Structure 1
Amino acid sequence: MANGSRQAAWEFFGAELKRLREEAGFTQSALGARVFVSGGYVGQFEQAIRKPQLDVAQRIDETLQTGGFFERMCRKLIKEQRYADYFAPVAELERLATKICEFAPTVVPGLLQTAAYARAVTIAANPFAADEYVEETVSARLERARILKDATRPEYWAVLHESVLRIPVGGPAAMAEQLEHVSALACERKVLAMVVPYAAGGHASMAGMLTLMEFEDAPPTAYTETSFSGNLVDDPAVVKRAQRAYDLLRVAALSPEASLALLESAAEDFRRCASTT
């Protein structure tokens, strides 16, 4: 399903939700209380700004007695989405965020990846994948990155462990291009990039991949990911702990100026290596 068709389907989902909610006599706040989300969230579902997770769709069906309509539609749209089930809600939230803070321990974050780097990462994780799958994955990743070019782009912080700069993903030429891309975004002030050096020791290396997002009219979220799964949470206590962990990583990182110098130096080393091979 094309992106436009999928968005139209979510808009239909929202329109039906509004119609059936009103027929049942629920305000957005009243329905939200029954399905354990805020009234504002219900409003965003109805406007197709935000997509409900499957368990919320199931509770909506139970409350409005719709015979599983919203669950079935949600399952169909999730099945046809371009991202893994555990990541799809994150991709949607990125477009709504006013601020995104990421920590990457080994791989450049998806929003900063070049095509060559994204292709190498995808093939490394899926060595038997068909070319069509690889190119679709790369295309989806580059499409996500467009939010950093928008006039209304979010404030974006990227804390990278030095390992990210040293692991030669895709070979020297791809790495040089990737690090030059991050450096250029930093110089254009589209990204605030900082590097946690090896010298920071175990303090930083104990942290896994972490994404924090803030929104105009919704609570902040935290997202952590392993190679095969992810966990998106908006529990205030958990998000607060994640924010504290991120603050500690920023304290361990080099200054933006020193980080940029390290990024440019690493890119130059890879570029030199590429030219001699």
Structure 2
Amino acid sequence: MTSEDKDDRPPSYVIFGAQQKRLREVRGLSTQELSDKIPYSVDLVRKIERGERRAQPDYIEAVDTALQAHGVLVVVGEHLSNQYLFPEWFEEYVQAEASALRIDIYDTHVVNGLLQTEAYAHAVLSAHHPTLDDEEVEARVAARLERQALLPRKPTCMLSFVIEEWVLRRPIGGKSALKGQLNKLIECARMRNVTIQVLPTACETHAGFDGPLTLLETAEGKRLGYVEGQAGSDWIAAPDKVRSLEGRYGIIRGQALNAEDSVKLIEELAGNL
């Protein structure tokens, strides 16, 4: 997303940055002088004050001490702590997702986080590299499950998912975890605002070879694209590019099994476990 579309700085970054800047100015310090008091670069100090970078816990502790804030910045950091439960590049998406009117998703690797069971999510996050410690895995699992409040949310968000069949066959977490995950998909598919379709592995060619994609309609009615890769994510806001993704997603849906046949296949897969 470009700056022309909206201020894409996460509110948590802006809030913390403004607090730090005000305390620094009260102490009569320049950004360079603050940097000299902590083991972080002046460039990072400035970016955090502009709300362009996330302040990590160790940084917050160091700055709080340097500015003699007596825990003020630490408290602010605690109130914003759930921001650390998602990768930095994913935070903006989570915020947009929570208030979205419609989301269309094509998944190729794992079941989408909005549909995952606790056991499945735990298995996925336990496979993260670099390895997460047990406490962080549990925190991220809890944060992922909290996102699922979107499904029964009022006002309703319309959700459409297309999932590659082979994703439903990979026993992530073991057969028991997979069976529980398949059963959850069946339950979610019964929700009136949720459509789940399976793209058969037997399909020789389809429009999704470029990888997973998400289309999101914001609370303001703006359509955006969102794609993820190994190292991060990209927002797609240009209308022509969004239309291209919408056209591609429409073709993918047309090549997938219809909703009724998809549920039958998922039930069959679950029954075989």
Q: TM-score, normalised by structure 1?
A: 0.71
In 1: Cα distance, 2:235 partner to 2:116 partner: 22
CA RMSD of aligned residues (A): 2.8
User: Which of the two has greater helix per residue?
Assistant: 1
Q: CA deviation at 1:202?
A: 3.0
2:101 is the counterpart of 1:104? no
Corresponding residue SS for 2:51:
helix
In 2: Cα distance, 1:208 partner to 1:114 partner: 23
Q: 1:176 aligns with which of 168, 173, 179?
A: 179
Q: Is the 8 A contact 2:225 2:237 kept in 1?
A: yes
Q: Is the 8 A contact 1:195 1:259 kept in 2?
A: yes
2:121 is the counterpart of 1:144? no
Q: 2:191 aligns with which of 177, 180, 188?
A: 188
In 1: Cα distance, 2:130 partner to 2:265 partner: 31
Q: 2:4 aligns with which of 30, 37, 52?
A: 37
In 2: Cα distance, 1:78 partner to 1:221 partner: 27
2:90 is the counterpart of 1:123? no
Q: 1:214 aligns with which of 204, 217, 222?
A: 217
Task: From the CA coordinates, give the structure whose radius of gyration is larger.
Answer: 2
Closer, same or farther: CA 249–53 of 1 in aligned 2, 3 Å: farther
Q: CA deviation at 1:215?
A: 2.2
* % identical aligned pairs: 31
Q: Residue in 2 aligned with 1:247?
A: 250
Q: CA deviation at 1:77?
A: 5.0
Which range moved further: 236-245 or 170-179?
Answer: 236-245
Q: TM-score, normalised by structure 2?
A: 0.72
In 1: Cα distance, 2:208 partner to 2:3 partner: 36
Aligned pairs for 1:1-277 (under 5 A) are 36-37=3-4, 41=6, 51=11, 71-72=48-49, 74-75=51-52, 77=54, 79=56, 81=83, 82-126=85-129, 128-204=131-207, 206-270=209-273
Work out the number of aligned pairs and report it: 219
Q: CA deviation at 1:75?
A: 4.5
Task: Note the residue ranges of structure 2 that are not aligned, 5 or more in a row.
Answer: 18-30, 32-44, 57-80
